Structure 1
Amino acid sequence: MLNITNVYIQYGDRILLNRINLTIGEKDKVGLVGRNGAGKSTLLKIIAGEMSPHDGKISRPSGASLGFLHQEMDIPKGRSVLDEVMTAFAEAKDLEIRIAEIHEEMETRTDYESQEYMDLLEEFAHVNDRFHYLGGESAQGEAERVLKGLGFKQTDLSRLTDEFSGGWQMRVELAKMLLRRPDFLLLDEPTNHLDIESIIWLETFLKDYTGAVILISHDKEFLDNVTLRTIEVELGNVFDYKAPYTKFVEMRRERREKQRASYENQQKVIAEKERTISRFMAKATKTKMAQSMQKQLDKIERIEIDDEDIAAMNIRFPTAPRAGQIVVEAHHLEKRYGDLLILDKVEFKMDRGDRVAFVGQNGQGKTTLAKIVVNEIPLSGGKLTLGHNVKIGYYAQNQSETLKSSETLLETMENAAPPEMRSRVRHILGAFMFSGEDADKKVSVLSGGERARLALACLLLNPFNLLVLDEPTNHLDIISKDVLKAALMEYDGSLIVVSHDRDFLSGLTNRTVEFRDRHLYNHIGDVNAFLEKRQLDNMRQVELSTKTTTPAVVASSNGTSNGTPARELSFEERKRLQRNVSNAEKKIERLEEDLVKFQKLMSDPEFYSKPDSTKTMQAYEAKKKELEGAMEEWEMATMELEG
């Protein structure tokens, strides 16, 4: 058992953890949830011994081991990936040496019935069991298995850790942690830098893990698949539910509804008793009875409603400057990394106001194309041009990691702001839930979610009409994701968003571009329409899927449909068909608006008594037929484009 007793943390006027008490069993699988900045990471650091509480204590069994994967890591340089991961077996190596020493001692001793010899046998059994538990007899094979499960290729294992990005270095650290097999495994946002295959592998590993696991994650499906218990940190308190995340949400809602109902019922009873006491106090003959009733009322244990953290960001993107009709246009675009071909002569076009989601497996080129669009990396062939007066706002996957830890929040904002915006940086910080003395905090003390909020705040300092977001929800809590989505729904510019979060993408875009086998496949509609067309249930299936199912609009020069080569369209034909599809969509939208106006007129009960009602109804039926024709035009143009 790991016991958290009366733990108290306060910073200035803010109580982060208010004398909390928890017990973690030796096989518990716990999800630690709550708002960004609520104290989840702080609690893990206290449990791990990396921070001391201002009061209270943490205790665990003597000899119990603990491993902590946190968001800030410092991987030693100069070692290969495999050599670095093999350091996880340091305990196993020591045990192997001790086993050899005991073997040697047992060969020379003859006091088989002495207590010392019995103690030696007992130590041998314990050391040998521990050695096998740690996988000491097959250390390298186990290290390679875990590394491959986390996405490393065989050729990566001999490369130096220095060659890898921060996300891949996190995987190295995670591999070491898993291989050490601590009794208590603490994981802070372990899935942020993992692709879907690695997430699914990690889920399986953790479900079968023999020790206790406490993890922080905003990935609801990951929490549901790994944990059986959810601890919510909110406004300094903790609420413990014996259920995985989705069930916890339901139980929390029911608890709060029951608590509110009980509170309201008790308030009615108290109010009634107080009225009775007031009436009795006014009568001398009933004063004693009133006093007795007052004493009983004072003894009632009052029901209190738990405080709820409803604070949220207040995001409003700046009005988009006017851009040309075409925002981005790419022809025969190609991208290689050495001999590795990522994008093969793809075509891509965005008109003003387009809202596009990039989806598909990791490594298929989603981030690559986003970086080419924002001119962060060069293309290898073909052409990409931006339209007239296009101004780009860009949020990268690792945007929060680019912030300077030594700067304060205010310095970060002022350094990113144009001169005319510097007077507004405190106001913008406040909108992102950084108020008062928060402005003087160093970036280094922020949680991952708070850094993400700060990076988003920096994005709002300059106007743009093409917003490119690469996995913007990675570090955001669920409420912050909803606020960001609401702001994006109101944003009046063009949008590219790379994401695997179905809830976030739902209804956000009008086009979905699937990256598969070095080509782009266009789908009209949002992520839900795309999944329905591909006959898939969720985004995990998209990211795992390698087979073409329902034919899609092939936005490359050599598309195929269900394995059958499609007729290759010339550039002029493709342009014509794309124009036809666009014109048909605009016509459909206009006709639907006209029909709504007719329907409003016809919903008035007095409409049918008007002399021109017959003509209006005839015009309505004509519009309906015109809409059917426009739908057929759109379907024909789409089918031709799909081949």
Structure 2
Amino acid sequence: MISINKLSIHFTGTDLFSDISFMINDRDRIGLTGKNGSGKTTLLNIIAGELRPQEGEIIIPNNTRLGYLPQEKTTESELTVYKEALNAFEEIHQLEQKIEKLSAEIAHRTDYESKEYDILIHKLSDANEHFQMIGGDTMEADTEKVLMGLGFKRSDFTRPVNEFSSGWQMRVELAKILLSKPDVVLLDEPTNHLDIESIQWLEEFLKTYPGAVVMVSHDRAFLDAVTKRTIEISNSKIYDYKAGYSAYIKMREERLGLQKALYTNQQKEIKEIEQFIERFRYKSTKAKQVQSRIKMLDKMEQIEIDDMDNSAIHFRFPPAPRSGKVVIGTEGLSKSYGDLDVLDLIELSIIKGDKVAFVGKNGEGKSTLSRIIVRDLDHTGELKYGHNTQIGYFAQNQGEFLDPNKTVFETLDDIATGDIRKRVRGILGAFLFSGETIDKKVKVLSGGEKSRLAIAKLLLEPVNLLVLDEPTNHLDMQSKDILKSALLQFDGTLIIVSHDRDFLQG
């Protein structure tokens, strides 16, 4: 369907892609993977026509329709959610106008036996048939189904889009793409703003979608449920696996193992050839053999080992300070925003060492309860803290509270004390900050980089209660694995809000 031929992109002297080629076929389910900065979003932008490749070409057949959902997109639309979603049916709306125009023209004519009248009747019949074929009769039912699948209530349908948060506005944009039924759906982190129930609905929708789907996602369970093909971007090249994400990981390990073995053997061969050349370079009787081996080296295609992100190291939290047996207790805890009751008479007891997940639909009060626990919101009812409860908190927008004028290294070094100061670079390495990146100013970091840095900062000071609100939203697979491993070993108490099922398991 879509052909990507010899594509190359260069940024600041670095090859993002170099001479890559692949096809997107009908009904493909492709997951794009690779470390942060490898070019996944750039590749989606190129396919969507948002960016032009510096070399190579994208061949898209005529009449092939694309639907692209970027990571972030806000709108100032004053239309209601329902009417904005109906904008997805542009062709149907045009047909409706055509049918109305033809019907009005026919109603005003009396020349029933004329050729012109007969032509109008045939045009109206064709328009009605096409209207039904492209879903005109089911447009409203489809809109309702998709909006509710993505978590909207019927009472939301009549609210203006610009009243909603950016996350809910992204759901409207996603609904419009799904309703417009493009031939190829391009999705960049579609689950970031969805709750678990909506993610599961989207999985089922995409499994049976009649077109092709190409997505970037750091949600392992979502990728496993939807994708059947994985394209990895690594070292400016692509590797195409006919497998979903988990199967791809196993196949990748096998490929890297083979690659490493071939590399080792080649390095051994190169060393032997170089030793021969050096040993007999000045012996006339061996001149022909020396020249032959020099040519052999020149022609030899060097085997490269793909970047394994060796900067990533395992991290352990500092020992948690001792706390009382009961860390948090509530009685009749409630919270309202105006007439809206978000929490009503919550009874909760969290014991030392508990690992608790707050799950549920967006808007049901998960983040509100977290903010109350960390004393960030007022409430009614009782909230009691146990002996020596020391809280560390990560908010969804925690990265925005970092000092924009500090460097990555200064952000951690300025608060580190004692032996921890010696470990700052190691901690930064665990969250994929190394080399020149540790000298970057916070203000130039991406949203994901800020989130990683905010988590790293949180880990410096010993606490015995961690409250994490969607900590994985902007983390890549490797950073999530590092954080998950650290949390599994954390000897304090943990409260986590997350829609990432794979992250919550274990």
Q: TM-score range by the shorter chain?
A: 0.7 to 0.9
Q: Is the 8 A contact 1:408 1:439 kept in 2?
A: no
Q: Is the 8 A contact 1:37 1:449 kept in 2?
A: no
In the TM superposition, what is the alpha-carbon distance from 1:31 to its structure 2 partner?
0.6
Matched with 2:209 is 209
Letter in 1 for 2:253: R
Matched with 1:232 is 232
Q: Residues 358 and 445 from structure 1, CA distance in 2 versus in 1: closer, same or farther, beyond 3 angstroms?
A: closer
Q: Is the 8 A contact 2:332 2:344 kept in 1?
A: no
Q: Is the 8 A contact 2:235 2:306 kept in 1?
A: no
In the TM superposition, what is the alpha-carbon distance from 1:307 to its structure 2 partner?
3.7
Q: Residues 131 and 31 from structure 1, CA distance in 2 versus in 1: closer, same or farther, beyond 3 angstroms?
A: farther
Comparing 68-77 with 318-327, greater Cα deviation is found at: 318-327
In the TM superposition, what is the alpha-carbon distance from 1:9 to its structure 2 partner?
3.4
Structure 1 segment 403-482 matched on structure 2, within 5 A? 408=404, 410=406, 432-434=431-433, 436=436, 446=446, 448-460=447-459, 464-482=463-481
In the TM superposition, what is the alpha-carbon distance from 1:444 to its structure 2 partner?
7.5
Alpha-carbon distance between aligned partners in 1 of 2:476 and 2:22, rounded to the nearest angstrom? 23
Letter in 2 for 1:94: Q
Alpha-carbon distance between aligned partners in 1 of 2:276 and 2:413, rounded to the nearest angstrom? 66
Alpha-carbon distance between aligned partners in 2 of 1:257 and 1:485, rounded to the nearest angstrom? 25
Match of 2:115 among 93, 110, 114: 110
Alpha-carbon distance between aligned partners in 2 of 1:409 and 1:30, rounded to the nearest angstrom? 39
SS in 1 for 2:222: helix
SS in 2 for 1:97: helix
Alpha-carbon distance between aligned partners in 2 of 1:305 and 1:56, rounded to the nearest angstrom? 25
In the TM superposition, what is the alpha-carbon distance from 1:230 to its structure 2 partner?
0.7
Q: Is the 8 A contact 1:408 1:440 kept in 2?
A: no
Letter in 2 for 1:346: E
Matched with 1:347 is 348
TM-score, normalization by structure 1 = 0.65
In the TM superposition, what is the alpha-carbon distance from 1:277 to its structure 2 partner?
7.0
Alpha-carbon distance between aligned partners in 2 of 1:297 and 1:358, rounded to the nearest angstrom? 58
Matched with 1:144 is 144
SS in 1 for 2:90: helix
Unaligned runs of 5+ in 1: 507-526, 528-643
In the TM superposition, what is the alpha-carbon distance from 1:373 to its structure 2 partner?
0.7
Tell me the percent identity.
Answer: 47
Q: Is the 8 A contact 1:89 1:179 kept in 2?
A: yes
Q: Residues 262 and 378 from structure 1, CA distance in 2 versus in 1: closer, same or farther, beyond 3 angstroms?
A: same
Q: Is the 8 A contact 1:331 1:348 kept in 2?
A: no
Matched with 2:222 is 222
Q: Residues 367 and 436 from structure 1, CA distance in 2 versus in 1: closer, same or farther, beyond 3 angstroms?
A: same
Matched with 2:253 is 253
Number of residue pairs the alignment of both structures matches: 493
In the TM superposition, what is the alpha-carbon distance from 1:380 to its structure 2 partner?
3.5
Q: Residues 302 and 246 from structure 1, CA distance in 2 versus in 1: closer, same or farther, beyond 3 angstroms?
A: same
In the TM superposition, what is the alpha-carbon distance from 1:92 to its structure 2 partner?
1.9
- Provide the alpha-carbon RMSD of the alignment: 4.2
In the TM superposition, what is the alpha-carbon distance from 1:147 to its structure 2 partner?
0.6
Structure 1 segment 609-620 matched on structure 2, within 5 A? none
Bigger RCO of structures 1 and 2 (CA < 8 A, at least 6 apart): 2
Alpha-carbon distance between aligned partners in 1 of 2:124 and 2:21, rounded to the nearest angstrom? 36
SS in 2 for 1:410: coil
Q: Residues 134 and 32 from structure 1, CA distance in 2 versus in 1: closer, same or farther, beyond 3 angstroms?
A: farther
TM-score, normalization by structure 2 = 0.80
Matched with 1:66 is 66
Matched with 2:391 is 392
- Is residue 2:12 matched to residue 1:12? yes
Matched with 2:39 is 39
Letter in 2 for 1:483: I
Q: Residues 150 and 17 from structure 1, CA distance in 2 versus in 1: closer, same or farther, beyond 3 angstroms?
A: same
Alpha-carbon distance between aligned partners in 1 of 2:342 and 2:281, rounded to the nearest angstrom? 89
Matched with 1:523 is none
Q: Residues 491 and 10 from structure 1, CA distance in 2 versus in 1: closer, same or farther, beyond 3 angstroms?
A: farther
SS in 2 for 1:475: coil
SS in 1 for 2:406: helix
In the TM superposition, what is the alpha-carbon distance from 1:133 to its structure 2 partner?
5.5
Alpha-carbon distance between aligned partners in 2 of 1:99 and 1:177, rounded to the nearest angstrom? 25
Structure 1 segment 219-298 matched on structure 2, within 5 A? 219-268=219-268, 287-288=287-288, 291-292=291-292, 295=295, 298=298
Q: Is the 8 A contact 1:6 1:56 kept in 2?
A: yes
Q: Residues 262 and 396 from structure 1, CA distance in 2 versus in 1: closer, same or farther, beyond 3 angstroms?
A: same
Alpha-carbon distance between aligned partners in 2 of 1:80 and 1:42, rounded to the nearest angstrom? 32
In the TM superposition, what is the alpha-carbon distance from 1:176 to its structure 2 partner?
1.0
Unaligned runs of 5+ in 2: none
In the TM superposition, what is the alpha-carbon distance from 1:181 to its structure 2 partner?
1.3
Alpha-carbon distance between aligned partners in 2 of 1:346 and 1:252, rounded to the nearest angstrom? 47
Q: Is the 8 A contact 1:28 1:212 kept in 2?
A: yes
Letter in 1 for 2:477: I
SS in 2 for 1:210: coil
Alpha-carbon distance between aligned partners in 2 of 1:51 and 1:403, rounded to the nearest angstrom? 32
Q: Is the 8 A contact 1:470 1:499 kept in 2?
A: yes
In the TM superposition, what is the alpha-carbon distance from 1:178 to its structure 2 partner?
0.7
Alpha-carbon distance between aligned partners in 2 of 1:43 and 1:266, rounded to the nearest angstrom? 33
Q: Residues 418 and 23 from structure 1, CA distance in 2 versus in 1: closer, same or farther, beyond 3 angstroms?
A: closer
Alpha-carbon distance between aligned partners in 2 of 1:442 and 1:61, rounded to the nearest angstrom? 43
Q: Is the 8 A contact 1:393 1:459 kept in 2?
A: yes
In the TM superposition, what is the alpha-carbon distance from 1:469 to its structure 2 partner?
0.8
Q: Residues 100 and 321 from structure 1, CA distance in 2 versus in 1: closer, same or farther, beyond 3 angstroms?
A: same
Alpha-carbon distance between aligned partners in 2 of 1:128 and 1:64, rounded to the nearest angstrom? 23
- Is residue 2:168 matched to residue 1:168? yes
Matched with 1:331 is 331
Comparing 429-438 with 25-34, greater Cα deviation is found at: 429-438
- Is residue 2:74 matched to residue 1:78? no
